[in-house]
Amino acid sequence: MTSVYLLVFIFVGFAQAGVPNHDRVVDQALSDEPKDSPEYDHEAFLGSERAAEFKKLDPQESERRLGVLADKIDKDGDGKVDEKELEEWITFTQARYVNEDSTRQLDTYDKNKDGKVHWDEYKETSYGFLREEDLKEDSENKFSYNKMIARDERRWNAADTDDDRILTEEEFAHFLHPEDFVRMRDIVARETLEDIDKDGDGFIDVEEYLGDMFNEEEGGEKPVWIDSEREQFVQFRDKDKDGKMDVDEVKAWIFPQTQEEHVKMEVKHLIEEADDNKDGALTRDEFMAHHDTFVGSQATDFGEVLARHDEF
- Domain of residue 303 covers 38-203+246-307
Which helix (H) or strand (E) is 244 found in, with range?
strand 244-245
Decide if 135 is inside a domain. yes
Which helix (H) or strand (E) is 50 found in, with range?
helix 48-54
Q: Which has more pLDDT, 52 or 59?
A: 59
Least confident span in 8-12, 132-136, 239-243, 247-251? 8-12
DSSP 189-204: HHHHHHHH-TT-SSSE
β-bridge mates for residue 166, sequence order: 118
β-bridge mates for residue 245, sequence order: 204
pLDDT recorded at residue 5? 39
Please report which residue ranges of the chain form alpha helices under DSSP H.
Answer: 38-46, 48-54, 59-73, 83-109, 119-127, 145-159, 169-176, 185-196, 206-211, 226-232, 247-254, 259-274, 284-289, 291-295, 303-307
pLDDT recorded at residue 297? 47
Cα separation, 181 vs 167, in Å, equals 15
Q: Of 227, 205, 217, whose CA–CA distance to 20 is shortest?
A: 227
Mean model confidence pLDDT for the chain: 85
Decide if 149 is inside a domain. yes
Please tell me the total count of domains within the chain.
Answer: 1
Decide if 157 is inside a domain. yes
Decide if 213 is inside a domain. no
* Per-residue pLDDT tens digits for 101-157: 999 999 999 999 999 999 999 999 999 998 877 777 665 555 788 899 999 999 999
Q: What is the DSSP letter of 5?
A: P
CA atoms lying within 13 Å on the CB side of residue 227: 2
Decide if 13 is inside a domain. no
Residue 95 has pLDDT above 60, yes or no: yes
Decide if 23 is inside a domain. no
pLDDT recorded at residue 214? 82
pTM, full prediction:
0.74
Decide if 129 is inside a domain. yes
* Pairing, β 282-283 against β 204-205: unpaired
